[in-house]
Structure 1
Amino acid sequence: MMMMILLLCSIIFVTILFLKKQSSGKKTKTPPSPPGLPLIGNLHQLGRHTHRSLCSLSKRYGPLMLLRLGRSPVLIVSSADLAQDILKTHDRAFASRPLTKLSDRLLYNNRDVASAPYGEYWRQMKSVCVIHLLSNKMVRSFQNVREEEITLMMENIRKSSSLQNVSHHLETLTNNVICRVALGRKYGGKTDFKKLTDRLSEMLGTFSVGSFIPWLAWIDWIRGWDSQLEKLAKELDAFFEKVLKDHEDSSIDRDRTDVIDALLAVRRNKSAGFEIDRVSIKAITLDVFVGGSDTSFTLLEWAMTELLRHPKSLNKLQEEVRTICKGKSSVSEDDLEDMPYLKAVIKEALRLHPPFPMMAPHYSTEDVKLRDYHIPAGTQVLVNAWAIGREVATWGLDAEEFKPERHLDSAVDFRGHNFELLPFGAGRRLCPAVSFAVVLNEVVLANSVHGFDWKLPVESMEDKTDVVESTGFSVRREFPLYAIASPPTCLT
């Protein structure tokens, strides 16, 4: 009762201040805005799936909107040409990240690459990732890991009943690959790192009242959000500290260099040209794991979903893969270059289902004039990659349809040069792990359709209805994908 009285008094007080400011504030030309409410602004207009809510609003107010989420001004970008303005023309001005309590506690005070503010520290850490962790040589060095885990997944599918939990198989594979690449070995049982990172992804997708309305931050404490945050942060750090100590133990013989080994070598040899400390090593490793596993699993799950819903596309992909790999029991990474339809399927899955529909927020560090609008410093920017991927002006009237053929004669790619397709971002904050993610996605999908014939269960309605999306930082299926796997009718 007391909490409700305090909240009501707070709302009345802020309403008075809001109306006073509205009547006396200096007018500047700003992008169109949906009507907001005192105190909360436009927060009430964000539904369960933010990317869909903002896409609907953009159809009414235009592809460039200014929302007020609590006290924070947030620019919403929902078209390819405006994304180019933000991520290329004015890239430097919008290259930073907003600082939040979430990133402070969970991402080591923004010491990782993804959430670090734009500046010298971010440049140094990104160079470490690009040169020492995600170079073509390093990506190739993990080929055996990918092959071993794919072989294990295929064997598990063969041993299971014909009705397969496809989501479980794909999630296990991507988790195991990234664990071995980043941490040196799989972590399960009492130290199930996957459960920790699932909680992290879920936490990053939750709403913190204090992040948008600081003077109401006490609500986060009362509802237990703060305690959950602290508990998860301590568990994650304890896990990484243990993994680091294992790597520093010279008595443990290591037959393969993983991400932590590479980072420790950079620190020991001072090969980066600057000091890299223990906290930065843990923060970067967390980036590699969460970004790699979430992106790859989510993409593969949606790609298989769409292929099963569109049997003609599945058959066409199988024909391509099985023709190229005639007489072979599996698909190697060397085979992938000759598979244009496979690459088109990956692009189409990324277009319709970007793993992170709302790109990580950008933050303006200076005033910008954008299309005759004044965008002040301190404005957050959210680029709706999901909406851009479904823009009729770019993709045509069939933009909502899964149609890989649209990419066969198109030069549009997802590596940051074309703003019609932005699953990995663009500009200075382009995800540095694109090459690693792409080769894993392609070789897993190719082997899956090469080794088995797939179809949906007879009672399934997935091919007739929309598939429900999850909520959170990354958007997966709400429910696991089940499908029937059978030996290929003709493994040519």
Structure 2
Amino acid sequence: MDVITAVMLVLLLMVLAWSYVLGSNSSRHRGKLAPGPYPFPIIGNILQLGRKPHQSLAKLSKTYGPLMSLQLGSIYTVVVSSPEIAKEVLQKHDHALSGRTIGAAAQVHNHHNISMAYLPVGDQWRKIRKLCKEQMFSIHRLEASQSLRQEKLKQLCDYVRECCCVKGRVVDIGEAAFITSLNLMSATLYSEDFTSFDSESTTQEWRETIRGVVKTVGAPNFADFFPVLKRFDPQGIKQEAEFYFGKLLDMFEDVINQRLHSRNTASPNPPPKKNDLLEALLDLGEGSEDDFYSCNHIKHLLLDLFTAGSHSTSSTVEWVMTELLLSPTKMSRAKNELRIVVGENKQVEESDISRLPYLQAVIKEVLRFHPAGPLLIPHKSEADVEINGYTIPKNTQILVNVWAMGRQSSLWSSPNSFEPERFLENKVVDFKGQDFELIPFGSGRRMCPGLPLANRMLHIMVASLIQNFDWELEPGTKPEDVDTTEKFGLALHKAVPLKALPVFNYKTK
């Protein structure tokens, strides 16, 4: 259902919606609320979001300030657009503002009651976070699985090398990055590949399914703005989410059942035991009556990890390659650093990252310029909180506009230019959650737990692509013709895929 039809349906139900708004607002107006644009009757400020809410909200914040109020249908929302207030929200008042606004799409298959992303901060949530930290994202675990990821990078380079052998065959950078991201994660979590470069149908199935989950969760949904419409699902988003979530959960159930079959099959020469997250979860679940280790909980955890990791990582790699192709001198500087530090006849490894300051600066700059999650995952206040003299009432939705903070001239010189060198001059600023002008992974207790793996994957994938190959824009394309339009969603990706021509660099093997 298109937007116009959905708006008409909202207006037809205005009496019910308006009564809901009045009822929900009656308990809200305690204290002084943050300033914001005047809301229209019934729909509030929904139309002011546009197709690129991160940009629209950034413009509005220049008028109404870094803590701004919006009425999105029946949902009272505040938008944070400065590092100082982001620190108040995500650190000082972290406990009171750590709830989640949960849309209809995330509630399908009971996902919100199992998912680490949506569970309230409590015993079950802490158990999942601790499990991920110890069994997947610890330095020990990541070091142990490094060789598996190195093999996936070799497959990426082999694929690009094949493209080099076919004159004029371009590489869809986003597609190649997605396949590699998916396999880097599956190698870490499951010790096997989920797809391959020569398996077009399998790759397409995984990509379409993961994209479907990400799209439905990130899509503006009138049923979320007006709960009275949930039962009608006017845009069909919940129905679409049911399909994609169900399909992906079934795919992960097959993965789990294959491992269980392998573990339970008697053999005179059993294969060596896997050293991955799935094996650890199954080991912990043996003999345990805790539902936490059930197949259902494991597959919802895998859904969280794969949708967050593969889609956002591949999108970020595509943005990195786009910016470097549009900045030949910066591409050359990054390649020269790899040649000098790593050498011409040695493949870059994860252990080399700390010795590649310019590569690190490139990644930081892309995370500033094109953050994968421009508004993070919405928070919700669990109690009334006062910030900067304004009251954030209980049950308020909170959006942190990290995209806006990355484009503020008061924080960054030439904020609309791609300048990695800024991070060589200021090495202190990092994206690990303590420097609030750069928090693409969030901060506080709700910070993305997969940051340690994402950090490695981003650096090593980009390094592998530029170390082994020279790159040119698609034949017939001039730099000024490259479309850098952003497409908003749960992850911010290029509206038009980047296709580039690889040229084999014979100085490296």
Q: TM-score, normalised by structure 2?
A: 0.89
CA distance in 2, matches of 1:149, 1:274: 34
- Of 278, 292, 296 in structure 1, the residue corresponding to residue 313 of structure 2 is 296
Report if the CA contact (8 A) 1:182-1:288 is conserved: no
> What is the match of residue 264 of structure 1?
282
Tell me, yes or no, if structure 1 residue 59 matches structure 2 residue 62.
yes
Matches within 5 A, 1:109-188: 109-160=112-163, 161=166, 162=168, 163-188=170-195
Report if the CA contact (8 A) 1:305-1:481 is conserved: yes
CA distance in 2, matches of 1:22, 1:247: 51
Deviates further, 63-72 or 458-467: 458-467
CA distance in 2, matches of 1:442, 1:331: 10
474 and 106 in structure 1: CA distance in 2 versus 1, 3 angstrom threshold: farther
- Of 219, 222, 239 in structure 2, the residue corresponding to residue 227 of structure 1 is 239
240 and 406 in structure 1: CA distance in 2 versus 1, 3 angstrom threshold: same
- Of 401, 405, 408 in structure 2, the residue corresponding to residue 391 of structure 1 is 408
- Of 416, 423, 427 in structure 2, the residue corresponding to residue 400 of structure 1 is 416
Tell me, yes or no, if structure 1 residue 325 matches structure 2 residue 337.
no
SS of 2:111's equivalent in the other structure is coil
CA distance in 2, matches of 1:363, 1:326: 49
1:474 maps to amino acid: A
456 and 393 in structure 1: CA distance in 2 versus 1, 3 angstrom threshold: same
SS of 1:48's equivalent in the other structure is coil
- Of 258, 261, 274 in structure 2, the residue corresponding to residue 246 of structure 1 is 258
**Post-superposition offset of 1:136:** 0.9
> What is the match of residue 46 of structure 2?
43
Aligned residues: 488
User: Kindly, what percent of the aligned residue pairs are identical?
Assistant: 31
Report if the CA contact (8 A) 1:83-1:419 is conserved: yes
Matches within 5 A, 1:208-227: 208-220=221-233, 222-227=234-239
**Post-superposition offset of 1:150:** 1.0
**Post-superposition offset of 1:260:** 1.7
Tell me, yes or no, if structure 1 residue 314 matches structure 2 residue 317.
no
**Post-superposition offset of 1:395:** 0.9
Deviates further, 102-111 or 42-51: 102-111
1:486 maps to amino acid: V
CA distance in 2, matches of 1:255, 1:18: 57
> What is the match of residue 213 of structure 2?
200
> What is the match of residue 78 of structure 1?
81
Deviates further, 126-135 or 164-173: 164-173
2:318 maps to amino acid: E
Matches within 5 A, 1:22-33: 28-33=31-36
CA distance in 2, matches of 1:454, 1:275: 47
**Post-superposition offset of 1:332:** 1.8
CA distance in 2, matches of 1:403, 1:3: 42
**Post-superposition offset of 1:228:** 1.9
Segments of 5+ residues of structure 2 without an aligned counterpart are: 196-200
1:46 maps to amino acid: L
CA distance in 2, matches of 1:205, 1:14: 23
**Post-superposition offset of 1:3:** 10
CA distance in 2, matches of 1:152, 1:24: 58
335 and 84 in structure 1: CA distance in 2 versus 1, 3 angstrom threshold: same
CA distance in 1, matches of 2:93, 2:58: 23
CA distance in 1, matches of 2:419, 2:43: 40
**Deviation sequence 1:246-267 (CA, Å, 0-9, x none):** 1211238465333221211222
Segments of 5+ residues of structure 1 without an aligned counterpart are: none
CA distance in 1, matches of 2:109, 2:20: 34
SS of 1:354's equivalent in the other structure is coil
265 and 176 in structure 1: CA distance in 2 versus 1, 3 angstrom threshold: same
Report if the CA contact (8 A) 2:103-2:217 is conserved: no
**Post-superposition offset of 1:417:** 0.8
User: How much is the aligned-residue C-alpha RMSD, in angstroms?
Assistant: 2.8
**Post-superposition offset of 1:320:** 0.4
> What is the match of residue 198 of structure 2?
none
26 and 193 in structure 1: CA distance in 2 versus 1, 3 angstrom threshold: closer
Report if the CA contact (8 A) 2:353-2:460 is conserved: yes
Report if the CA contact (8 A) 2:358-2:424 is conserved: yes
SS of 1:392's equivalent in the other structure is coil
**Post-superposition offset of 1:105:** 1.2
2:87 maps to amino acid: Q
